[in-house]
A and B are shown apart, each in its own frame.
Chain A
Amino acid sequence: MEAQQNVVPFPGVIPEGMARLNVTFSGSNGDLAEPVAFDLADVDVRRIAAEAIAAGSIPGIARVMGLDLVDFVVDRFGPTEGLPARLMIRPKVPFGA
């Protein structure tokens, strides 16, 4: 329940110090309904995302139980023109050639 301590009502303007949390998992992508604290530790971002996937509460991402997302990367982007502050948790991308 620690995750719930880090969220505030949404939608609306994302308050200072908060960020939209975007999750990419298994080829699908979606935002959590509530913003989270921008300075959350990576381990907490992984836990919140895993809990949201387990709850089936991220639009566009199928419900999957028991994930730890330990190999996932957390990117942090401050607010820019037209975009709010965002945390984005995603798979590693080592390949190209």
Chain B
Amino acid sequence: MIVGVGALGSHVALFARNWGNPLRVIDHDRVEAKNLAAQVHTRMGLGANKAVGLQRTLQGLFGTRVEAIPHRLTADNAAQLLGGAALVLDCTDNIEARRLITAAVRVTAIPCLHGAVSADGMFARVVWDELFVPDAEGTPGAATCEGGVALPFFAMTGAQMAGVAQAFLVAGARVSYQLTPTSIIRIG
């Protein structure tokens, strides 16, 4: 299950498209024109919910089975929406959502891998929940990296996150990393 399918989560989904089981993706946001430069969303999806748009894209291009959940994660629905997942991939963009996810997976003992990117789009962490502490924004409400400059790094981070998740699903490995555009370092 991927929570948040914007710049990072949509790339994770792209690289997780051959996992076999239906991917479940959650996002309440809508696809805007500014998203097209750095996210796996297309002009055909403009105005659509991001989870639904990504579902159509992956099914249309690759035949990937995707279950789209077009809802905002809240304290009231987090346990229900995340429940039953074999693995939660947290690709959200705010500390409130991350706290909800962290609380829910810790209660239910669902494995959770967090992906997070710095405001300048030049640093990222792919971290298992046991090592994860959510960071607040430096300036609340600051714009995320919406231009296309960080696209290669989002793709790189998404690929790394999908690879780490796949290693867990196949062999139970839980390895965490931090990344820059020129380095990938194991941190745990």
B7 touches A97 (CB 8 A): yes
**A83-B116 in contact (CB<8A):** no
Residue of B nearest to A92 (CB): B135
Q: Evaluate contact between A94 and B183: CB separation under 8 angstroms.
A: no
CB-based contact B187/A88 at 8 Å: yes
Indicate which residue in B4, B7, B125, B182 contacts A93 across the interface (CB closer than 8 Å). Answer: B125
In the complex, the answer to whether A93 meets B116 with C-beta atoms within 8 Å is yes
Chain A interface residue count: which class? 20 to 34
CA distance A86 to B7 in the complex (A): 30
Interface size, chain B (Cβ < 8 Å): 42
Q: Which residues of A contact B33 (CB under 8 A)?
A: none
B136 at the binding interface (Cβ < 8 Å): yes
A94 neighbours in B (Cβ, 8 Å): 93-95, 116, 118-119, 134-138
A29 adjacent to B185 (CB under 8 Å): yes
For B186, give its contact among A28, A83, A91, A93 (CB under 8 Å).
A83
* B64: Cβ under 8 A from any A Cβ: no
Q: Which of B5, B122, B123 is the most central at the interface, judged by chain A CB atoms within 10 Å of its CB? A: B123
Main secondary structure of the interface of A (DSSP, over half): strand
Determine whether A69 belongs to the interface, using a CB cutoff of 8 Å to chain B: no
Is B88 at the interface (CB under 8 A from chain A)?
Answer: no
Q: Please tell me if A57 contacts chain B, counting CB pairs below 8 Å.
A: no
Q: Which residues of B contact A90 (CB under 8 A)?
A: 123, 125, 178
One of A71, A96, A97 near B29 (C-beta < 8 A) = A97
The answer to whether B118 and A96 have CB atoms under 8 Å apart is no
Give chain B's interface residues, CB within 8 Å of chain A.
4-9, 27, 29, 90-95, 114-120, 122-125, 131, 134-138, 144-145, 178, 180-183, 185-188
A-B contact sample (18 more), CB < 8 A, given A28-B180, A95-B93: A24-B123, A27-B120, A27-B181, A29-B178, A29-B182, A60-B183, A90-B125, A91-B123, A92-B138, A93-B124, A95-B7, A95-B144, A96-B9, A96-B115, A96-B116, A97-B4, A97-B29, A97-B92
**Residues of chain A having any CB pair with chain B under 8 Å:** 22, 24, 26-29, 60, 71, 73, 75, 77, 80, 83, 86, 88, 90-97
